[in-house]
């Protein structure tokens, strides 16, 4: 065994503004999921107590949705370029077994985001557009008169399905951040260790050290 490792080098991954943007969006999403689920299934209605009861959960939920929408717009503008699909992303996806097994040596070198992260990004982008649009249709307190009851019925069904899908995507996102150790500090301290970047995003690390594209 080598001598005890020296302090690893660190690489900056997210600016303070990007992290703040992320956490505003993240907190909104969690609050939306809790208040939304409380109205989704009777067994979860008790969750509305966290918002001061069913009526206030109902009243505040759409407003948090507005915060989330604009929060996510910020994230979208920041990150969409780095999330554009690459040919190597198909290779990465075709080796899902190696991905889930943590055998990164069998995978192509990855830029700032791997195909899984890109899928999470694009799925969330689509789902949030669907959620805000269907949400406005059923925001009866302000927009009741703009749509028919049939449209509202459809919107509430679409809203529920999209929300469930978004929660599942969110579970994948959070789980991946936990499973791949050393990831969460990217969104807390803003930096990752060089080894983390080498192991998971080697192409990105190469670009960084050669002074290439930074985002």
Partner 1 sequence: MASLSPQDLIRRSASSITPAANKLPEVAKMIDVSKCIGCKACQVACLEWNDRREEVGVNTGVYENPHDLTPNSFTLMRYTEWVNPETQSLEWLIRKDGCMHCADPGCLKACPAPGAIVQYSNGIVDFVHENCIGCGYCIKGCPFNIPRISQVDQKAYKCTLCSDRVAVGQGPACAKACPTHAITFGTKEQMLKDAALRIEDLRSRGYKNAGIYDPPGVGGTHVIYVLHHADKPEIYASLPRDPKISPVVEIWKGLTKYAGLAAIAIFGVVGVLHHLVNGANRVSSQDEENAKRLKEGRS
Catalytic residues: 173
CB 116: neighbour CB atoms within 10 A?
18
**Looking only at residues 130 through 169 of this chain, which bind partner 1 when binding is defined by CB under 8 A?**
138, 140-141, 144, 149-150, 152-154, 156-157, 160-161, 164-165, 167-168
Distance between CA atoms of 97 and 107, rounded to whole angstroms? 10
Q: With binding defined as CB under 8 A, does residue 190 bind partner 1?
A: no
Minimum distance between the CB of residue 93 and partner 1, rounded to whole angstroms?
17
**Tokens representing residue 118 in the block:** 């890109």
The sign of the dihedral angle between the CA atoms of 57, 58, 60, 64 is positive
CA end-to-end distance (rounded Å), the chain = 36
Q: Which is nearer to partner 1, 91 or 171 (CB)?
A: 171
Minimum distance between the CB of residue 134 and partner 1, rounded to whole angstroms?
12
**Tokens representing residue 148 in the block:** 């028919």
Minimum distance between the CB of residue 16 and partner 1, rounded to whole angstroms?
23
Closest CA to 140 of 215, 62, 81, 200: 62
Phi, psi of 21 (to 5 degrees): -55, -45
Which residues of the chain form contacts with partner 1 (CB under 8 A)? 2, 5, 8-9, 11, 38-42, 45, 48, 53-55, 57-59, 100-102, 138, 140-141, 144, 149-150, 152-154, 156-157, 160-161, 164-165, 167-168, 171-172, 175, 178-182, 193-199, 205-206, 209-210
């Amino acid at each position: 065994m080598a001598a005890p490792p020296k302090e690893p080098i660190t690489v900056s991954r997210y600016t303070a503004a990007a992290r703040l943007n992320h956490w505003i969006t993240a907190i909104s999403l969690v609050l939306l999921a809790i208040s939304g689920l409380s109205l989704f299934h009777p067994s979860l209605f008790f969750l509305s107590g966290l918002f001061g009861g069913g009526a206030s959960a109902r009243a505040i939920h759409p407003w948090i949705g507005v915060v989330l929408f604009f929060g996510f717009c910020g994230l979208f503008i920041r990150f969409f370029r780095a999330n554009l699909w690459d040919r190597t992303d198909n290779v990465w996806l075709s080796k899902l077994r190696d991905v889930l097994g943590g055998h990164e040596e069998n995978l192509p070198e990855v830029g700032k985001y791997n195909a899984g992260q890109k899928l999470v990004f694009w799925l969330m982008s689509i789902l949030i557009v669907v959620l805000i649009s269907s949400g406005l249709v059923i925001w009866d307190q302000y927009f009741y008169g703009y749509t028919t009851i049939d449209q509202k019925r459809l919107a509430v069904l679409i809203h529920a399905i999209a929300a469930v899908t978004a929660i599942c995507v969110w579970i994948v996102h959070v789980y991946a951040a936990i499973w791949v150790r050393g990831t969460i500090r990217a969104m807390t301290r803003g930096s990752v260790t060089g080894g983390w970047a080498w192991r998971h995003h080697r192409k990105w690390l190469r670009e960084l050290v050669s002074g290439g594209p930074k985002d």
